Amino acid sequence: MALATLLCACSPSDGENTGGGGEQPLKRPEGEPDALTQVAPDTVSDLGEEKRSEDEGGVDVEIAYPTVPGAEPFAEELDSIVEEKADDYRAAVSGAEALDMKGALSAAGPDVLAVRLSLEEKNSDGEHTGSSTYWYDTATAHTAYSTELLDGQKGLDELNKLVEERLEEDGVEPEALYPIAGLYDSVGFNPDGDVVVEFDQGQVAPASEGALHAVVPREDAEPLLSDFGRRAQETATQVTPDLVLDEAGTPKDGGAAEVPGRLGPEAPADVDCSDPESKCVALTFDDGPGGRTPELLDTLAEYDAKATFFVTGEPVREHLRTVRREYAEGHEVANHTVTHPDLTTVGEDRVRDELAEVNGLVSRETGERPVLMRPPYGATNDDVASVSAELGLAEIIWNVDTNDWKDRNASIVADRALKGAAPGAIILMHDIHGTTIDAVPEIVKGLDEKGYSMVTVSQLLGETEPGESYLDGAPDEPEDDKGEDGSDKKDEKKDDKGSDESDKDEGKKDED
């Protein structure tokens, strides 16, 4: 009898799934072969809806998504998600006019839920569509990103290859397609259990192509799924009538750190920058991306070196694909304001706008929000620190200035970087200058020969405190070598302008 029950549960009957010991066939969910499954609302008992309108700063935002009794933590997370999306849209999109986010159940069962958000944006350039899908494990009360359907980063890497092949077969040459959470934020299943990946309009191809999708056959995708992904697939491909969930549990902490495609700046396993014997150094590049930043990335990749890019508004908009590549290749993308003002000369509202816009731009492109900022000219004060803390940003200054904005000579720039290098050094350069790009091969080669590990600022410093200011990441000195107050240099606040006293030409592109 047990064997018969198992066979009935696993064998299709007249195109439908069967289960429950063969008592009755389970209905197939709604959905097209090239789209995520859809759950009929009347199959979930007491299904609710959160619906509201917002009008802030002249931008109309409409929000609606389903709520399932017994899954209150999921509803709370969705609320945070849609508010963050609305904030990023208002802050980052030029000429923002309206945003409409509507959610619908894509999967609903005793173990797993999924809500797919469809997004319609309207700005001065026209209308754009997109989607994102979030999953929920009822046993742990954990809200999961779409990439958590995959078996780690390796599973996402393999899926990315298959998706690229599918898009090319459909006549689409994907642009900057990388296995990152910001791109794979809408992943689910069609009624047959094939994996469907959705991309926003203009995300991996010209906007004229519309919103794109790729379907990876079940037999190819199943080996790439996590345990949760397989349970999600099972739930998505059948209908559970009159679904009633048990009382919601308490979400477990720490899940987000293991999300495939969330490429946090974790140091390599063989590098511990907190070790006094380590030789870590952080290369930092301001004001970009520039037209030659991809060449810089090629050089860094050759030496397996990581860097931190403090990006500004218009260059980000001009080189979105480069920002995505920086993140995908393990570099850190950090905030350097929109227009590069001296933040100590403007009010708190302007400081907030300058930083929030870049946060939104980077988040929308990579799926990761910056945790570091660099105040232009190194100029900061209590107001700047307060706003930075509010936005979750630590202030990063520097202790080695190459003055590459002033002396456009590759040899001079390389010489200053190499002479200034010491364990814990934060080296300032600008990737908008062609002479700096020319200097980087000599710099990374020289540092590599001297035994330095080139890491991101977050790798160098470890966990940072929002609003605090850091000059370098030198390993802790013995107690006798610290100041009378026992303070560490890297926690000093720099309240006046730094040595990078360049004029407004620093923010301009190099003519060559």
Residue 165: its H or E element: helix 152-169
- Please provide the CATH number assigned to the domain covering 280-507: 3.20.20.370
Q: How many residues does the chain have?
A: 512
Neighbouring CB atoms inside 10 A of 419's CB total 11
Of 164-173, 272-281, 414-423, 488-497, minimum mean pLDDT range: 488-497
359-381 per-residue burial string, b: 16 or more CB within 10 A, e: under 16:
bbbbbbbbbbbbbbbbbbbbbbb
**pLDDT for residue 121 is more than 90:** yes
Q: Which of 422, 319, 322, 311 is nearest to 374 (CA)?
A: 311
**pLDDT for residue 268 is more than 70:** no
User: 213-258, pLDDT tens digit by residue?
Assistant: 999 999 999 999 999 999 999 999 999 999 999 877 777 654 445 8
Degrees to nearest 5, angle at CA 82 with 79 and 84: 105
Q: How far is CA 121 from the centre of its chain?
A: 20
| Over residues 372-381, mean pLDDT | 97
**pLDDT for residue 147 is more than 50:** yes
| Over residues 146-150, mean pLDDT | 98
Residue 24: its H or E element: strand 24-26
Question: pTM of the full predicted structure?
Answer: 0.87
**pLDDT for residue 399 is more than 90:** yes
As a whole number of angstroms, the longest Cα–Cα distance in the chain is: 83
Of 89-103, 250-264, 280-294, minimum mean pLDDT range: 250-264
Fold adopted by 31-251 = Heat Shock Protein 90 (3.30.565)
Q: Which of 42, 48, 43, 93 is nearest to 70 (CA)?
A: 48
For the packed helices 434-449 and 410-420, what is the interaxial angle rounded to 10 degrees? Answer: 40
- Quick check: 131 and 186 in contact, CB under 8 A? yes
Rounded Cα distance between 354 and 372, Å, is: 14
For the packed helices 348-366 and 382-390, what is the interaxial angle rounded to 10 degrees? Answer: 40
Domain boundaries, the chain: 1-28, 31-251, 280-507
Which residues are identified as catalytic?
286, 430
* Confidence class for position 94, pLDDT limits 50, 70, 90: confident
pLDDT value at position 253? Answer: 57
Q: What three-state secondary structure class fits 259?
A: coil
| Average of per-residue pLDDT values in the chain | 88
For the packed helices 320-328 and 348-366, what is the interaxial angle rounded to 10 degrees? Answer: 70
**Same fold for the pair 31-251 and 280-507:** no
Which DSSP string do the residues of 292-309 spell out, in sequence order?
THHHHHHHHHHTT--EEE
Which DSSP string do the residues of 394-450 spell out, in sequence order?
EEE--SEE--TTT---HHHHHHHHHHH--TTEEEEEETT-HHHHHHHHHHHHHHHHT
Of 7-16, 160-169, 171-180, 339-348, minimum mean pLDDT range: 7-16
Name the pairing type of β-strands 195-199 and 187-189.
Answer: antiparallel
Q: What three-state secondary structure class fits 239?
A: coil
Rounded Cα distance between 404 and 436, Å, is: 6
Both tokens of 508, joined, read: 């301009």
**pLDDT for residue 289 is more than 70:** yes
Q: What three-state secondary structure class fits 198?
A: strand
